[in-house]
Amino acid sequence: MSDSTEVTKDMAEAQVQTPDPISKRMFLNVGPSHPAMHGVIQILVELDGEWIRKADIEIGYLHRAFEKHCESGTYTQCFPYTDRLNYVSPLINNFGFAAAVEKLMGLEVPERCNYIRVIMSEISRITDHLTCIGASAMELGAMSVFLYMMKAREYLYELVENVTGARLTISYGRIGGVKGDLPDEFEGQCRNALRKTREVLAEVDALLTKNRIFYDRMKGTGIMSKEDAISFGITGPFLRSTGVSYDVRKASPYFVYDRMNFEVPVGEVGDNMDRYLVRMEEMEQSIRIVEQALDTIPKGPTNVDPEGKVIPPDIMADLGKFGKTAGLLKNEVLIEPTLAGTQQKYHQLIRADSKQAWLPPKEKVYGSIEALMNHFKIVMMGHGIRPPKGEVYFCVEGGNGELGFYIVSDGSDRPWRVRCNAPCFRPMAALAGLLEGSQMADIIPTFGSVNMIAGELDR
Amino acid sequence: MAEQQLSKTLERIKGQFSDQIVDLHTSLGMDTVIVPKTIIFELVRFLRDDPDLKFNLLSDLTAVDYFKRNPRFEVVYHFYSLERNTRVRIKVPVAEPNPEVESITPLYKIANWLERECYDMVGIRFANHPDLRRILLYPEFKGHPLHKDYPVTRRQPLVGPQDSMA
């Protein structure tokens, strides 16, 4: 680990004493805004020719006070902030936060909802790894790989868009469930997208894995030992590339991961090539998980009331106000597309059976006083979702490793403290040590394989 | 209070540090130990090196500001054992003024950055830390944003319009 204050001091001295550009040591700033840095981060290196003698990492350029903002809003209002943590796989953050609060409240979510969470998490993991590999391959000169991978990511983003209504800032998780059920045509679209993604992966594998240029730059660079990785608390693909088979999905299964059949790929030496191979294999395993989940997911609503007709919301609300509630609960309300999948018939499939955490279906809100009061209790300021006093730590396997939320509740409708344990913080702490002693050009593959996501790193 | 059944981890910790521990309990499936700050370094070393515990991964290190409570702060450590697949939470109450605990950077390399973040955000100082600087915020920043008495609307820009609310 470099003594970074010393680097800064040395830098100032060197500038004063040796203005000669051909002096032995040279200081170079990479970033914070550099074409090869996908994300704002500054790497300060001390060079001896092409060799890096010292490195210092400066982070925090994208700090947005995530933890402070969470304290000032209600629990549900935290979801949009969690979207923006790891913005390449926002669904995992959503579900991680929701599951932490559910654990605190003791809520059980229904089976179909758990399956939806698994499917959407794995799709996000694939998009995360596609972005990581695509971007680092591009920085090593493989532009076409980047374009192919973005094409595959596009297939998956279309799925995400169909389900959540947005591509990136999805806010799809809810405490006690998910926003809405999967659309009817989802299964076919999903299998189709996965098939096309597989083709792209095969294509990329053929282009990259045995490519001389790519192999030479990845093999043997950025080597991290098993002991160092553990001491740095690294998890996820980075840790697995060193040979430690730790995956939260296997170690402490959440949702329905214990029913899924999948392998945890591990590397051997912990270099950039191993990290690339681990990520490639993980995408294949994620596809397997999604396919199994699609096969076994409990089916959606089948027994729709034959007499139920669709009524526009204003008409239904008026009928309710005038007391014409007979039979109203059996009708379906016409809701806007962004709320698709939240109709009464989907409700018990996607939400926990708890009045403390979930908005009742619109049909009941318009048609009965109890549901209206329930709705009021949850949305009005000072009421809201109130987990009991206590603290909880819950972690899920994010795109980069163990994504943990530590939440302290004081019994009110706002969290007292939300701490996000970001997985890419740890390899970034180790990055300076990885770079020291390597060549200038190795910054690019090593930094690429860390998969730094500034939104998650700086919070 | 009824004597509850302690987990294996808690038994082991209790056996070693029985007279110094403030409290031991299991909440929501997580073993929790509250200890005074004087023994934190020894305890963490024991957690890491003891062959029955082997908590080799520092999952998280943070602090909570319990405003208007004495002691005001609590430093919270989460450890994970890769071999045993177990977690434990250690809490250290720290009082004002000058909240300070011993750094565990010699034991876990990641503690260096996590303690820097904790200092930056909550203002806990870590004794014997090799390089206790701000990490996410800039050196000129005044105060610590995760203090409960730091208003969420306060702005401290280095450039651009200054805060009208301060």
Q: Domain with B62 in it: what CATH number? A: 3.30.460.80
Q: For residue range A220-248, what is the model confidence (pLDDT) as tens digits?
A: 888 888 888 999 989 989 999 998 889 99
A81 close contact with B: CB closer than 8 A: no
d(CA A155, CA A134): 15
Which position has the higher pLDDT, B28 or A308? B28
**Residue A13 neighbours by CB distance under 10 Å:** 10
| Residue reference for tokens 């430690």 | A244
Quote the minimal CA–CA distance from A426 to chain B in Å: 7
Q: Which residues between 412 and 431 in chain A have a beta carbon less than 8 angstroms from any beta carbon of chain B?
A: 416-417, 419, 421, 425-426, 428-430
pLDDT at A311 (0 to 100): 77
Residue A343 pairs in a beta bridge with none
- Closest to A238 (Cα-Cα) out of A264, A275, A267: A275
Q: What number of helices (H) and strands (E) belong to chain A? A: 19, 10
* C-alpha B108 chain-centroid distance: 13
Residue B75 lies in a domain: yes
Mean local confidence (pLDDT), A306-312: 68
The share of chain A scoring above pLDDT 90, in percent, equals: 24
Which of B30, B33, B113, B156 to mutate against chain A (most A CBs within 10 Å)?
A: B113
pLDDT at A61 (0 to 100): 86
Say if residue A289 is exposed, middle or buried (CB neighbours under 10 Å; 0-12, 13-18, 19+): buried
Residue B12 lies in a domain: yes
In B, minimum Cα distance to A105 occurs at B28
Contact indicator for A62, A39 with CB cutoff of 8 Å: yes
d(CA B113, CA B111): 6
For chain A, the average pLDDT equals 84
A4 close contact with B: CB closer than 8 A: yes
Q: For residue range A86-145, what is the model confidence (pLDDT) as tens digits?
A: 888 899 999 999 999 988 888 888 888 889 999 999 999 999 999 999 988 888 888 899
Say if residue B109 is exposed, middle or buried (CB neighbours under 10 Å; 0-12, 13-18, 19+): buried
Residue B65 lies in a domain: yes
pLDDT at B75 (0 to 100): 92
- Closest to A285 (Cα-Cα) out of A154, A125, A400, A92: A125
pLDDT at A21 (0 to 100): 56
In B, minimum Cα distance to A415 occurs at B64
Is B108's CB within 8 Å of A65's CB? Answer: no
pLDDT at B68 (0 to 100): 83
- Closest to A266 (Cα-Cα) out of A248, A284, A242: A242
Contacts of A426 in chain B (CB under 8 A): 110, 113
Which position has the higher pLDDT, A14 or A60? A60
Phi-psi region of A150 (alpha: psi -120 to 50; beta: other; left: phi over 0): alpha
d(CA B126, CA B102): 5
Contact indicator for A241, A166 with CB cutoff of 8 Å: no
pLDDT at A300 (0 to 100): 67
ipTM of the complex: 0.88
pLDDT band with cut points at 50, 70 and 90 for residue B63: very high
Contact indicator for A173, A97 with CB cutoff of 8 Å: yes
The share of chain B scoring above pLDDT 70, in percent, equals: 93
pLDDT band with cut points at 50, 70 and 90 for residue A23: low
Quote the minimal CA–CA distance from B87 to chain A in Å: 10
Structural tokens at position A443 = 């910054």
Mean local confidence (pLDDT), B126-151: 87
Encoded amino acid at B96, one letter: E
- In this predicted structure, the answer to whether residue A266 has a pLDDT above a threshold of 80 is yes
B155 close contact with A: CB closer than 8 A: no
Residue B119 lies in a domain: yes
In A, minimum Cα distance to B58 occurs at A233
Residue B112 lies in a domain: yes
Cα–Cα distances in angstroms (integers) from residue B78 to residues A15, A104, A405, A421, B15, in the given order? 43, 17, 11, 10, 20
- In this predicted structure, the answer to whether residue A303 has a pLDDT above a threshold of 60 is no
Instruction: Give the predicted TM-score (pTM) of the model.
Output: 0.86
Q: For residue range A347-380, what is the model confidence (pLDDT) as tens digits?
A: 777 777 777 777 888 777 777 788 888 888 888 8
- Closest to B122 (Cα-Cα) out of B143, B108, B93, B151: B143
Q: For residue range A373-414, what is the model confidence (pLDDT) as tens digits?
A: 888 888 887 788 888 888 999 999 988 889 999 999 988 888
Q: In chain A, what are the domains? A: 11-58 (no CATH), 69-299+390-458 (1.10.645.10), 310-379 (no CATH)
Which of A105, A224, A391 to mutate against chain B (most B CBs within 10 Å)?
A: A391
Mean local confidence (pLDDT), B135-148: 87
pLDDT at A130 (0 to 100): 92
Contact indicator for A41, A61 with CB cutoff of 8 Å: yes
Contacts of A402 in chain B (CB under 8 A): 59
Q: How many CB pairs under 8 A join A and B?
A: 98
3-state DSSP assignment of residue A418: strand
Contacts 24+ apart (CB under 8 A), A23-32: A24/A48, A25/A53, A28/A440, A30/A443, A32/A58, A32/A61
Which of B31, B45, B55, B59 to mutate against chain A (most A CBs within 10 Å)?
A: B59
Q: Which residues between 53 and 112 in chain B have a beta carbon less than 8 angstroms from any beta carbon of chain A?
A: 56-60, 62, 64-65, 76, 78, 82, 85, 87, 89, 108-110, 112
Is A392's CB within 8 Å of B28's CB? Answer: yes
- In this predicted structure, the answer to whether residue A459 has a pLDDT above a threshold of 80 is yes
Structural tokens at position A178 = 């998910």
Residues 6+ apart with CB under 8 A from A111: A256, A298
The number of domains in chain B is: 1
pLDDT at A48 (0 to 100): 82
Quote the minimal CA–CA distance from B28 to chain A in Å: 7
B152 close contact with A: CB closer than 8 A: yes
Contacts of A429 in chain B (CB under 8 A): 109-110, 112-113
Is A231's CB within 8 Å of B87's CB? Answer: no
pLDDT at B161 (0 to 100): 57
Is A252's CB within 8 Å of B85's CB? Answer: yes
Structural tokens at position A64 = 């947005």
3-state DSSP assignment of residue A38: coil
- Closest to A276 (Cα-Cα) out of A391, A145, A171, A121: A145
Mean local confidence (pLDDT), A64-72: 89
Nearest to B109 among A103, A231, A458 (CB): A231
Residues 6+ apart with CB under 8 A from A126: A156, A197, A283, A286, A287
Structural tokens at position A190 = 């999903």
Residue B141 lies in a domain: no
d(CA B89, CA B83): 17
pLDDT at B2 (0 to 100): 43
Is B27's CB within 8 Å of A391's CB? Answer: yes
Q: For residue range A73-100, what is the model confidence (pLDDT) as tens digits?
A: 888 888 999 988 888 889 999 999 999 9
| Residue reference for tokens 């004495």 | B70
The share of chain A scoring above pLDDT 70, in percent, equals: 93
**Residue A26 neighbours by CB distance under 10 Å:** 15
Mean local confidence (pLDDT), A141-166: 90
Contact indicator for A4, B131 with CB cutoff of 8 Å: yes
Quote the minimal CA–CA distance from B55 to chain A in Å: 10
* C-alpha A120 chain-centroid distance: 10
pLDDT band with cut points at 50, 70 and 90 for residue A22: low
Domain of residue B122, residue span:
8-127
The share of chain B scoring above pLDDT 90, in percent, equals: 22
d(CA A359, CA A355): 8
Is B87's CB within 8 Å of A393's CB? Answer: yes
User: Which phi and psi angles does B77 have, rounded to 5°?
Assistant: -115, 140
Contacts of B135 in chain A (CB under 8 A): 59-60
pLDDT band with cut points at 50, 70 and 90 for residue A287: very high
Say if residue A224 is exposed, middle or buried (CB neighbours under 10 Å; 0-12, 13-18, 19+): buried
DSSP per residue, chain B: ---PPPPHHHHHHHHHHTTT-SEEEEETTEEEEE--GGGHHHHHHHHHH-TTT---EEEEEEEEE-TTSSS-EEEEEEEEETTTTEEEEEEEEEPSSS-EEE--TTT-TTHHHHHHHHHHHH--EEET-TT---SSS-TT--S-TTSTTS-TT----SSSSPPS--
Residue B144 lies in a domain: no
pLDDT band with cut points at 50, 70 and 90 for residue A301: low
d(CA A208, CA A146): 11
H/E run at residue A305: none
Residue B136 lies in a domain: no
Contacts of A72 in chain B (CB under 8 A): 152
d(CA A316, CA A389): 39
